[in-house]
Structure 1
Amino acid sequence: MLTCDPHSLARAAEALPCLPLQPSFYAAVLQQPLSSEEVSRNEAWCCRPLSANATENCFIWLIRLGVLRREVDGQGLTSRVRLTPMGNQLLKRWPQGWPPASPWQRLRHGIRRRWPRL
């Protein structure tokens, strides 16, 4: 089993419940690559309606956290994303979905997302 840096894993684990993407999204992206347009059209994957641009912003943050990666084809990077081994590890940690985020976790995540160097 592949293990990830504990600090990175803890940071990503704290972020997942704070983001508007449901555990069903992560299970789907484990099976096949998905684009922001596909995700924004599927209401079962989002906690609230998201535009393709807002979904893409979530993707970018999840890529920075190490949970997602861009799909690569013969011509380079695509608009689709896949789950990384660390993302898979987090998904296995909570097979029934993760616990809801506390207000403190949401505040910390919001600060980290807007000022990631702090």
Structure 2
Amino acid sequence: MTPIQSSSAPSIRYPRRAVERAERAVRCAPFQLHLFATMRQESVGLKAIAGQSGIQNRYTRRSLPELVAENDLLWLIQTGLLRREVDGQGLTDSFRLTPLGRQLVEKWQHKGEHLPAPSLLDRLQNAWNRWVRLPDWIR
């Protein structure tokens, strides 16, 4: 298990492979660190991320169709970085960081204001993990 150092609260220990997969997924996602930094403080709605709003809010580098943005956010949920916000009526279109996501974002914020760029190997491994997932009982 790999602890990620966090100054705000005791660290939860996550398996090294889970941390690596989550870091790789974020590096390959079309989002900027500012989005995740905002999610540390409050939930962010899909409409603020998709389209021109994403560029204006400094959440994305390019305009993303809503479906593309949502699919990428859902992948980050699968990797353990994000969770869907819930209100009294059920699920919303807003997203927040999980404890793992908070720890990773804090680590990256200490290193600078940009996420590390993904390598070609990162992109290939992320695509493999994303589209060719094995059932849990096989792993």
**Same-fold call, TM > 0.5?**
yes
Kept after mapping to 1: 8 A contact 2:45/2:93: yes
Query: Which residue matches 1:32?
Result: 42
Query: Which residue matches 2:18?
Result: 8
RMSD of aligned alpha carbons: 1.5
Kept after mapping to 2: 8 A contact 1:33/1:82: yes
> Which whole-Å CA distance do the structure 2 matches of 1:68 and 1:115 have between them?
21
Kindly provide the amino acid, as one letter, of the partner of residue 15 in structure 1: A
3-state DSSP of counterpart to 1:94: helix
Q: Structure 1 residue 65 and structure 2 residue 79: aligned?
A: yes
Kept after mapping to 1: 8 A contact 2:85/2:94: yes
Between 33-42 and 77-86, report the one with greater CA deviation: 33-42
- Of 93, 103, 106, the residue aligned with 1:92 is 106
Any gaps of 5 or more consecutive residues in structure 1? none
> Which whole-Å CA distance do the structure 2 matches of 1:24 and 1:46 have between them?
9
Q: Structure 1 residue 104 and structure 2 residue 115: aligned?
A: no
Any gaps of 5 or more consecutive residues in structure 2? 1-9
Aligned residues: 118
Q: TM-score, normalised by structure 1?
A: 0.91
Structure with bigger helix share is 1
Q: Deviations over 1:59-117 (max 9, x none)?
A: 11011111000111112221111010000011122111332111111111112111122
Kept after mapping to 2: 8 A contact 1:22/1:45: yes
Q: Deviations over 1:32-55 (max 9, x none)?
A: 111211111220211221011111
Structure ID, larger Rg: 2
4+ residue runs over 4 A deviation: none
Q: TM-score, normalised by structure 2?
A: 0.78
